[in-house]
Chains A and B, each alone.
Chain A
């Protein structure tokens, strides 16, 4: 198998065994990036020099006898995460030229574990979007069909891993931004429990929802990356101070003794016959692995979207106030400071970001706060309670990860139709639950000449990351859906 196609686990094993050097892995991946970036566009910045220096350090450490859990693994860092000395844009004109003077905790932990950062990945501006089309800094295409979107907002990280331009992609998920692009790009995408992984150095979208997680080609790789990133960080007051159970060493090959809940409200028949069949088959496969299937109800799940589209914009309206042209980033001059603010923010933010800032500002403004913001926070309580009740009957909930396979560019011109893509992922985000998307089959959209992947979402109660990853691994090993089709861009020499 080509170096670039190997999993993170394989690469780390070989680099630790010194049968492969981090340098060779890095050169192979940089060559791949140089070859395919013109078509895929995963990265906002490719970090040739940075990567080579990091690889040299990994090789030195391994030569000195250290064993690193992710030795030499090429890493795509979503461009809303700070890496000292690199441009960190959040996909926005506002930060197009901003260089981070510090490194995000999650990124640092991966680097310490031996990862080699090869690039800063494209994304929807400030992580607002589900297709990567909202990036102000470039187009990212789906490696499985270049006419389609990679999903979003972590679309660049997803495309990079799917196109073998990295083995691990770092994503951030606020309402589905890891799980949806994972589903669109035939990947595993894992959002841990809210607060498991430090947000320090992650450019905030909605603070009470944002969570960092990995996008990988195997469940094992997701587990390895999670194990390294998870854990309390003194720099993030919302990071959880609770022992992290290692997951990579506890992956399973069957589901005996597990109860899997199917959500009554999440029927798949309206998703289309072929897609419906994929999910029915997926549930059968879970049963075949030994799981007991039970029906559960999430009566308020339908309110997830409405709740989310008040809370997330409210928080973002405040989080994005700091982009004001005073200390860093873009400035458009004005007659006075208010004029400067208004012009800078008008020019620096794209339409989706403006929409959300406006709706959030409105939801918090005098006279509307109780009717919108407070009511949404209460609805959130009801949604979390629904999950609690459902998890009294089961260990995991299985459902789709997205409302459709990857769609074509410009297919969703109405903002609300784009928001609907996250229908299945938002409730879990609101409840802070660990949730993962794993490849579960293929469908050929009308008029398309290539099949596109679909994702099965597995959700567990708070802090049960181990159950999600263990079950996903068992399912992945049995079904091997990801291997059924190759990306549209061939690997070198393949």
Chain B
């Protein structure tokens, strides 16, 4: 796949992760991530969207080095992250930081949260002494609109979900990262505080030139924060490009369905038709053809048997491709 931008901070190069299934499905294999290639542009927000079980989180864990891919490479600033050792590995961990879905699971309930913050500063040698560490921590708490005395000596349960998620963002910011991997950072957060978290993330990109991989199933928030978007279906990226292009004019039937399923906050625009829910996920993963073919309204024999190629589409604002036989044959 070609580059999305001239200078990518992270290149995902033909990554595949195969999980072996035991027990009932003895001996079978499941490609949770299936030959995915994507670039994360410098100072850009890339959204990975898809329903649950589409491989988004597995991909994010591969990027963070928590899971080893079966094949393919992840290049961070042209360094293969699976081969990093010593100083370079420390630099990678310092510069690429995660934010997780449920802040109450991020932090140990028996450990005060300021210890995480100070610990990040000290162990990554951002600060030499405790007072320096405090200063650095206060700075990063400042970015998320909290102050040090709010978090000092407190356990996770003393915060609301929104506050604790901001603490977890501040923790990630302590090391002054270049790339944030945010896995569903607002799906557990209440609607009324959700936007402030998203605004903080957007501010990071603007003010501190950070790049963000934003993982979500909510296309509304993906549209709000991101520059580029990749739609995943059962391990494959089926459509990818500029967020404006993809979400205002989706081409792949799967992207179109995701968009149609958004609950519009307007009682005049209720869903008229019914949708078919997916049957067994494993069956869709194992299919030889397009992973969406079993649910696709316009699927034919070819879709069921052969994996479609990536088709490049015209786009004003950069690179765009779609993985669909219909587009490959007819063009769009």
Does B associate with A? no
Q: Which residues of A contact B (CB under 8 A)?
A: none
Q: Which residues of B contact A (CB under 8 A)?
A: none
